[in-house]
Amino acid sequence: MSFGCDTPFDMSLMGHVDVSPPLTVYQKQAASVTYGVKNQAGMPYQFEDGDAVTVTAREAFWSQDILFETTATVTNAAEGIISLSVPALSFAGAAYAEVTVERGGQVVYIQPFHLISQRTLKERGMGQLTLMEIRIFLRDVTAQSNFTLDEVEFTDVEIMRAMEMPIEYWNETPPSVGTYKLSNFPFRYHLTFGTVAHLFRIAAHHYIREETTIRVTGGTIDHKNKAAQYLALAQDYDGRWQAFVRRKKAELNMRQGFKYVKSPYRHLF
């Protein structure tokens, strides 16, 4: 794969993760699936004869391990449809994936998307915190849930990043009593608090940037004046998350401090 110097990669041909729906498979089940690749405008990507298409997936952006990389087949060039084989995934949750299109040895398009590994009822344990669980907590499931916005408030990529940041906080906060990633973090209830804290902070940044007061006859329109409310919510939930981290790490650290030491006189009794 080469970006080349004679034909430099046009960053305007980089797709956005929110123009394509996620691809859903079931945990520990290999699957042959089709997927619709979208261009930046959300319309079907137009493949050309000879395009080489690969799909790569990682559990996290920073992960050194690739979940899988496979060659895809273009089944409908005009509609942007590809088919691919997804191997059995051991975890339940969300991962990052991307479609890479090469033409004449040059990368001409990259489409990021989410790969969802759906937990089955046969699997034990709760599994990874999911996008839908966070949306239900925030009542941000559909556009109909937000009358004034007429769309969901948070994108999937914002929610995924907001789920990762509290785990990074855990991993980087001393004492070191366990390093986790999104797929194996065991404290789901409190991770919800850390996640929504980051989402409310994201929203507050937006409202600070977009705040505009419009004067009209008989009053004003100031529907973006919500930063203070969102920041207060962010601080509330972040306080709960950080308090949990302090308590839990102190508990785990104390547990690791107790060890069994064999006595040299143990055989005399």
266 assigned to some structural domain: no
178 assigned to some structural domain: yes
Q: What is the CATH number of the domain that holds 53?
A: 2.60.40.3350
- Strand, helix or coil for residue 44: strand
Name the residue with tokens 């394509």. 20
| Whole-number Å distance between alpha carbons of 141 and 222 | 25
User: Minimal CA–CA distance to 67: which of 11, 3, 23, 35?
Assistant: 23
| Whole-number Å distance between alpha carbons of 204 and 234 | 9
Determine if the pTM surpasses 0.85.
no
The one-letter code for the residue type at 128 is Q
User: Minimal CA–CA distance to 67: which of 36, 106, 94, 40?
Assistant: 94
| Whole-number Å distance between alpha carbons of 70 and 101 | 12
Sign of CA dihedral 39, 43, 48, 54: positive
135 and 245 fall within a common domain: yes
35 assigned to some structural domain: yes
Enter the tokens of residue 58.
Answer: 């990682």
Beta bridge partners of 176: none
23 and 139 fall within a common domain: no
**Which of 118, 140, 156 finishes a domain?**
118
Q: Which residues does 225 contact at the CB level (< 8 Å), separation at least 6?
A: 207, 211, 213
How far is the first Cα of the chain from the last one, in angstroms, to the nearest whole number?
A: 71
21 assigned to some structural domain: yes
222 and 247 fall within a common domain: yes
Sign of CA dihedral 81, 140, 228, 168: negative
Q: What pLDDT score was predicted for residue 231? A: 94
99 and 146 fall within a common domain: no
Q: What is the DSSP letter of 120?
A: P
**Which of 69, 90, 118 finishes a domain?**
118
37 and 150 fall within a common domain: no
| Whole-number Å distance between alpha carbons of 134 and 154 | 10
- Strand, helix or coil for residue 57: strand
125 assigned to some structural domain: no
29 assigned to some structural domain: yes
Q: What is the mean pLDDT of each run of 10 residues along the chain (269 residues)?
A: 43 57 86 92 90 91 83 96 93 85 93 84 72 90 71 83 92 91 89 97 87 60 77 96 96 78 60
Enter the tokens of residue 267.
Answer: 């055989």
Q: Which domain holds residue 192?
A: 131-257
6 assigned to some structural domain: no
Q: What pLDDT score was predicted for residue 264? A: 64
| Whole-number Å distance between alpha carbons of 52 and 1 | 10
148 and 232 fall within a common domain: yes
136 and 252 fall within a common domain: yes
| Whole-number Å distance between alpha carbons of 84 and 93 | 20
